[in-house]
Amino acid sequence: MKRLFAGLGGVLVVVWVAALSSMAGSGIVAPAPVTFTDVTAQAGIKFVHNSGRAGQKFLPETLGSGVAWFDADGDGWADVLLINSRDWTPRGRKSLPALYRNNHDGTFTNITAGSGLDVEMYGIGVAIGDYDNDGRDDVYITALEGDHLFHNEGHGKFRDVTKASGIDNASFGTSAAWVDYDRDGKLDLFVANYVQWTAKGDLWCSLDGATKSYCTPESYKGTSSKLYHNLGNGKFEDVSRKAGVAEPTSKSLGVAVLDYNGDGWPDLFVTNDTQPNKLYRNNRNGTFTDEAVPAGVAFGEDGVARGAMGVDAADYDRSGRPDLLVGNFSNQMLGLYHNEGTGLFVDEAPSSTVGRASLLTLTFGAFFFDYDLDGYPDIFAANGHIEEEIGRVQPKVQYKEAPLLFHNLGRRQFENVTTQMGAAFNRPVVARGAAYADYDHDGDLDILVTTNDGPAYLFRNDGGNRNHWISMRLVGRKSNRDGIGAVVRVISKSGKQWNMVRSGSSYCSQSDLALTFGLGGDTAVDSIEIEWPSGEKQKLGGMAANQFLTIDETAGIVTKAGPRK
């Protein structure tokens, strides 16, 4: 900051003072100096996505694939699963997903071979959840030719149980989320499906009228997303139509689980590409009602359906209600929908820094996370266009785009801090999936980004843990074992904040299920309150900050650990 002050003179004084005054009285502290360092190579991650492109410009080649952070081997550290696609016709190589085991020292080892996840497929998305409550997280992968459910057998080994489970989704699946929508203690599964497409039926589209380009989804018919009810004993039933979520005109790319009306039951927000988004209110009887239009989240502010991709939900202003973040197509800006608490959302992006900075970018992965641990969720957006030649017809729009990072200033205001995060972070790429986790156990949240037909990038958070924090992983007993759907409220000196354990969100990706709460300058937590999906309520007493907690639904805190030194 001092070096910048000397170079920019009084101009920076105005900006810096303005930023500080906007935070004054907001309850948050000035942001700690944070950078995101590209540690992909030194971490040992060597993954390149294969879209199968060979000049035919097939639609699925534009979608890339996702990534998941989860504890594959049960050692308490976040491992990595990177989803891969494949060649359309055999070219003498195999394209496999990549499972990387966390070595606890900042590095990873590729353990894909023999893991059971070493299955070639045209993979797109991934969701993580312990569907049989055996204490091990299972893997669901969406794939063009048919999705796969992998049961975690322990010690980093998985078994494909798709056929035996009764799940049969060969409908161009994209994002997915595990959710106990009926609160019976067993995780159900929602799968977002895109459009009706086959290689044989691929259409000819063009930017210039002479050469083939990738088609946008308007060219194809939509298809219904799927909801699978968990029957127990490893079996699922397709209840999409019965539950009211079978909408054949939808072209879905993202799904977020949230309780937008605060009734204690999980609702679903589904983003659609060039079709109206869906906000499915849980009717608490196994059915849902779409409230997107009256809630103001179906269309853009101009009343037109946008090209919506990734999505997330969080309470970014401590109102006690979940808001929505939606990644959209270029020239449409991010959607930042504030929950007014009346069943209505208001998009604050058009009048904010978030909208102005994101107007030209095309956002796939997007999520809220507190990167500097000040207690207010910030915004990350992973960007990249679908058409390599877009710059020829839209000179202001680029194929490769840098990500965006917005720091939450409080009072429903954000600041674009992307350029402050280092050169590697600002590298233009064709990003798709994005997820976060504290992979190195130092308290702050790191980011993993996938690119379309390109490498994955691991960005280590350096400096976020200058503020205090508390992290917790839940273990359900009456509720599902992962505690998905549980609401956690943390009270400290600077106030109250909350979050929900959720599968899904972002784009085709899964962040770690552990919840991290930034505490800013607070050195202790006064209390932790948990509302479990079973209806059980739990209150825990005060404790020092900077700890990893494991909290059991019946036993309370079962483990405590400090950060890795």
Give the tens place of pLDDT for each residue, 47-85.
Answer: 999 999 999 999 999 999 999 999 999 999 999 999 999
**What's the pLDDT at 130?**
98
pLDDT in tens, 487-498: 999 999 999 999
Residue with tokens 């952070």: 69
Interval 255-275 mean pLDDT: 98
Q: What is the mean pLDDT of residues 139-157?
A: 97
pLDDT(37) > 50: yes
Confidence tier at 477 by pLDDT (50, 70, 90): very high
Burial class (CB in 10 A: 0-12, 13-18, 19+), 429: buried
Over 90: is that where the pLDDT of 20 sits?
Answer: no
Task: Compute the mean pLDDT over every residue in the chain, rounded to the nearest whole number.
Answer: 93
- C-alpha closest to that of 112 among 62, 58, 180, 44: 44
pLDDT(18) > 70: no
- State the pLDDT at residue 225: 98
The reported pLDDT for the residue numbered 4 is: 30
pLDDT surpasses 60 at 2: no
pTM comes to: 0.94
Mean pLDDT of 84-95: 91
> Left if phi > 0, otherwise alpha if psi is -120 to 50, otherwise beta: which for 320?
left
3-state secondary structure 270-318: EEEECCCCEEEEECCCCCEEECHHHHCCCCCCCCCCCEEEEEEEECCCC
- pLDDT score at 107: 98
Write out the H or E segment, with its range, that includes residue 18.
helix 10-23
